[in-house]
Structure 1
Amino acid sequence: MQAVRHPNVMGCLDVFADGGIIHLVMEFMDGDLRKLLDDRGTILSEMHVKCLAHQILEGVAALHSRWFVHRDITPTNILLSFRSGAAKLGDFGFARTLGHRDRPLTPMCTTLWYRAPELLYGAKFYGQSVDVWSTGCIVAEMFLRQALFQGRGEFDMLTKVFEKRGTPTEDVWRDVSALPTFVEFSHHPKVPLPTLLPSASRHAQGLIDGLLSLDPKQRPGASDALAHEFFASAWPAACEPQDLPFAWRGGSSAAA
């Protein structure tokens, strides 16, 4: 991603051809968020979650400022430096530029558990808010240490989402019934965030509630999310990246 240079976006150091094959030289990173979340020996307090969430949203905001949509933000695609504590967005295989309103995009992109509901309903015209939904899923997962929505297919995913976020109506999500594969679900009330995420502070719950708005038009932009009270003033303050619990485990952030 030479077009986007940011501390929280994986850098492409060089591109060269050899024997008709294009090679990319990327920054070396030690691990990813998926492995961290699966490591039950690593405890993530709210100050750690806040630091990681801020870095992720910084990367998303940088990408969006250049009119890119990532379309596959997952814990596996958030890479970590054990030396510096940096978290960086990686794997841009599904990334696309926006700007052509009449150009459809495939809804079959984001990994299922992090796929926005409009994509699950087959939307072909969508925007950067799909990345915001994915980020909200990840922030929630850092508190839960498991994915918030775990479906086995698109219909099951929608069921899991609506069971927790409430079944949408036109009042909640305008024009939802016009989406290509819209199916009306039985009514489920929205589950309060304190019930879903009891270990998260009310400010963290408020941030996640916005990121996981069913209506994509109601989700904040990544840069707006960075101004949320959760980051701006709420206690506890975010730790420094180098103070994250996985930092300084013998890794190296040197280029390879």
Structure 2
Amino acid sequence: MEEKPVKIYEKLECLGEGSYAKVFKARDKKTNVIVAIKKIKVIIGHGVDFCGINPTTIREIRFLKSIEHPYIIKLHHVMGDSLKISLIIDYMEGDLRNIIHSRTIAISQSHIKSYMKMMVDAISFMHSKWILHRDLKPENILIAPDGTIRITDFGLARIYGHFHDIEMTANVVTRWYRSPELLYGSTLYGEGVDVWALGCIFAELFLKAPLFPGDSDLSQLNEIFEKLGTPDESTWPGVSTLPDYIPYKKKTNIVP
């Protein structure tokens, strides 16, 4: 990580703010290139879960430094001091959620094909490097001015085992895009959690609304089973052995 940043960027506007970070649109004073600066606080003091850099930030920096792909957000620099860390990344005009829920933007089938091809290319590349994203959702698919996408937010990304034998937390992926094995508490999983999320985004592009909008984990499972049918040992061997398995009434009204 570089030392305290040189004053080479001019802040233009605040794009968003969270518990630990602010994101700014900025201009490189030398090149006039527009970038985004994600300023992350370093937590110091008592009465907090941790001190120092948020672990998700360390994870995000680690993965963005190790992956380079045209459809994955590029990390240009990491700058910082004892109080904050600044990530200099590509500036994007908006995200896929803005497009999906816009009342003025029509999404054609060719647009959907293009978006999905780019997302699949990026995720396939990550999986070839044994990296799971674990938080794919429209908000994390940014749109560049030329219409191409950039997958962002690697705070929950994780290296996974070649034989899927490494236990991981099930508390990942935003609920509407969370796969059934995660909802049932599985700690042994692989590429399927990202592929399921991509499928949910695919449907949302057509529907212009979430496919499975559950408001709790149980209602999320119910949303899935209402549309796809209820799994059992004949259709999903081992489902009844998952940590949080609960038998559901058999759903037969399955969407074709």
TM-score band, normalised by shorter chain: 0.7 to 0.9
Aligned-residue offset at 1:191? 2.1
RMSD across aligned positions (CA): 1.4
Structure having the higher helix fraction is 1
Is 2:236 the partner of 1:173? yes
- Measure, in 2, the Cα distance between the counterparts of 1:189 and 1:175: 21
The corresponding residue for 2:152 is: 90
Structure having the higher strand fraction is 2
1:94-122 deviation line (CA, Å, top 9, x unaligned)? 00111285542111111000000000001
Where in structure 2 are there 5+ consecutive unaligned residues?
A: 1-63
- Measure, in 1, the Cα distance between the counterparts of 2:226 and 2:240: 18
Describe how 1:81-160 pairs up with structure 2 within 5 A.
Answer: 81=144, 83-99=145-161, 103-160=166-223
Larger Cα-atom Rg: 2
Where in structure 1 are there 5+ consecutive unaligned residues?
A: 194-256
Given that 1:80 and 1:86 are in contact with CA atoms closer than 8 Å, whether structure 2 keeps it comes out as yes
The corresponding residue for 2:33 is: none
Is 2:38 the partner of 1:38? no
| Secondary structure of the structure 1 residue equivalent to 2:65 | coil
Q: Which structure's relative contact order is higher, taking Cα pairs within 8 Å and 6+ residues apart?
A: 1
The corresponding residue for 2:27 is: none
Distance change >3 Å, CA 121–CA 48, structure 1 → 2: same
- Measure, in 1, the Cα distance between the counterparts of 2:93 and 2:65: 21
- Measure, in 2, the Cα distance between the counterparts of 1:110 and 1:183: 20
| Secondary structure of the structure 1 residue equivalent to 2:248 | coil
Identity rate, percent: 39
Aligned-residue offset at 1:190? 5.8
The corresponding residue for 2:252 is: 189
Given that 1:167 and 1:190 are in contact with CA atoms closer than 8 Å, whether structure 2 keeps it comes out as no
Describe how 1:42-53 pairs up with structure 2 within 5 A.
Answer: 42-53=105-116
| Secondary structure of the structure 2 residue equivalent to 1:13 | strand
The corresponding residue for 2:65 is: 2
Matching residue's letter, 2:151:
L
Matched residues, number: 192
1:169-204 deviation line (CA, Å, top 9, x unaligned)? 1111110111000011001126243xxxxxxxxxxx
